[in-house]
Amino acid sequence: MESAGITTPFGRRTMSLAMMASQIKADKIPEGKKTDKWRIYRWLCEGKTIIGVSDRSLAVLNALLSFYPETELSQEHGLVVFPSNAQLALRAHGMADATLRRHLAALVDCGLIIRRDSPNGKRYARRGREGGIDEAFGFSLAPLLARAEEFEQAAERVQAENRALRLARQRITLHRRDIQKLIESAREEVISGPWDALWAQFRVIVAAIPRRAILADLEPIAAQLAALREEIDKLLESHVNAGELSGIESQNERQLSNSESESFNESKSDLGKELNEEPVTVQCSEESSKTYPLDLVLRACPEITDYAASGIANWRDLMATAAQVKGYLGISSSAYDDATRVLGPENAAVTIACIVQRAQHIQSAGAYLRTLTQKAQAGEFSIGPMIMAALKASGTAARMTGYSQAEKRQ
């Protein structure tokens, strides 16, 4: 059995207070305590920064543990290993003798092992008559067993810090991506705002990120990026809200007022027709040459499909449905024919679909259609904005940037 009490090192090696404290703690191991030696070693590898041990020293400790015959460290089987430096160097991947001695001393200073030196400084075990080891001289692994809980806590602490560091890096990465793309999108869409100043502020924050950062370095950077992202979100949100109010509600008000003002003109036109007056002469405008994707129209005005018995699969189906629906809306044939000649048959059908979509906001659909026809003839009306307004009003989530750019080119 290994000797109890405080032992001093052989030769010129000095005894320190830390070594005495390590030996005293190792002598107070609870009776029957057992711990897997490789589990302790894994805890040490994870918590090495807290324990204060290097990778090379841990490699030497790994070699020492390989000389312990049992998997579990316990006082029952003894805790002293006694390999020679030559054998230990072989299991430490051929480490040089001077390097090996230096790392053994480092393990002692960290309180991970204790020297149990013989009178002549040699490492060996003295066996009894029954063949068991009565006394061994070498390196005691008792501190590993005594401090197992400490090593486990150090490993858990490092794991928690690594998780927090990883999450902080993820937050910074997401903020960087979102801020950059939101500012670029705002510039492309020509949205008013201090985007140059925000971009400069963003670059200053990003430039301050160190290559080898710890959690204390990244937390304030993540907070700054989060605040900047919140500011950008507020600017874009206010722009969207303002655009919806001005683009939808105000347009609704204009269309309502136009409907009211033109209701008398519609009645007058119908009266003139009854008195066999000359019909209004109309001319084709450039709007009749423009066409828009059918799926775009149906997404903007889905209610028109409720009037199609067999659905709307092509432009012919839409035009046939629009010709049928105009009667339900109270639109005269002459008003629809004028719209067809000015806007074109496809765009006239699209206009009817938009009127159906907003029928509850329009008092006189016939007067409204005549007004749009007259504005189109004068070059003051285009189908594109009407479709975009219908898309916003119906709550369509798809981005319509491509269609907006196509409208500008036309």
Q: Averaged over 3-17, what is the pLDDT?
A: 61
Torsion angle, CA of 79/85/86/88, rounded to 10 degrees?
40
Please report, as a single letter, which amino acid is at residue 114.
I
Q: What CATH number should be reported for the domain holding residue 22?
A: 1.10.10
Q: Whole-angstrom Cα distance, residue 384 to residue 235?
A: 27
Predicted confidence at residue 204, as pLDDT, reads 93
The more confidently predicted of residues 306 and 24 is 306
In this model, does residue 291 exceed pLDDT 90?
no
Predicted confidence at residue 22, as pLDDT, reads 66
Residues 27, 65 within the same domain? yes
Tens digits of per-residue pLDDT, 224-237?
999 999 999 888 88
> Pick from 244, 266, 293: which residue ends a domain?
244
Q: Whole-angstrom Cα distance, residue 173 to residue 167?
A: 10
Q: Whole-angstrom Cα distance, residue 101 to residue 60?
A: 10
Predicted confidence at residue 250, as pLDDT, reads 47
User: Which of 224, 353, 338 lies closest to 294 in space, CA to CA?
Assistant: 353
* 402, part of any domain: yes
* 151, part of any domain: no
Residues 22, 127 within the same domain? yes
pTM given for the model: 0.49
Tens digits of per-residue pLDDT, 324-364?
888 878 888 888 888 889 888 889 999 998 998 888 888 88
What are the tokens at 104? 């053994």
Residues 351, 298 within the same domain? yes
Q: Whole-angstrom Cα distance, residue 336 to residue 366?
A: 8
What are the tokens at 41? 């070693």
User: Which of 189, 242, 255 lies closest to 390 in space, CA to CA?
Assistant: 255
Predicted confidence at residue 47, as pLDDT, reads 92
In this model, does residue 293 exceed pLDDT 60?
yes
| Structural domains in the chain (count) | 3
pLDDT band at 238 (very low <50, low <70, confident <90, very high): confident
Residues 171, 205 within the same domain? yes
Q: Whole-angstrom Cα distance, residue 80 to residue 140?
A: 4
The residue range of the domain holding 142 is: 17-146
User: Which of 328, 314, 379, 323 lies closest to 351 in space, CA to CA?
Assistant: 323
| Unique residue bearing structure tokens 């020492």 | 64
Predicted confidence at residue 24, as pLDDT, reads 63
For helices 383-393 and 401-409, the axis angle rounded to 10 degrees is: 170
Residues 136, 57 within the same domain? yes
Q: Averaged over 19-47, what is the pLDDT?
A: 82
Residues 350, 401 within the same domain? yes
Residues 116, 204 within the same domain? no
* 259, part of any domain: no
Residues 317, 212 within the same domain? no
Tens digits of per-residue pLDDT, 166-208?
999 999 999 999 999 899 888 888 888 899 999 999 999 999 8
Residues 287, 403 within the same domain? yes
Tens digits of per-residue pLDDT, 36-94?
999 999 999 999 989 889 999 999 999 999 999 889 888 887 888 889 889 888 988 88
Residues 362, 291 within the same domain? yes
> Pick from 97, 113, 146: which residue ends a domain?
146
* 385, part of any domain: yes
> Pick from 201, 219, 244: which residue ends a domain?
244
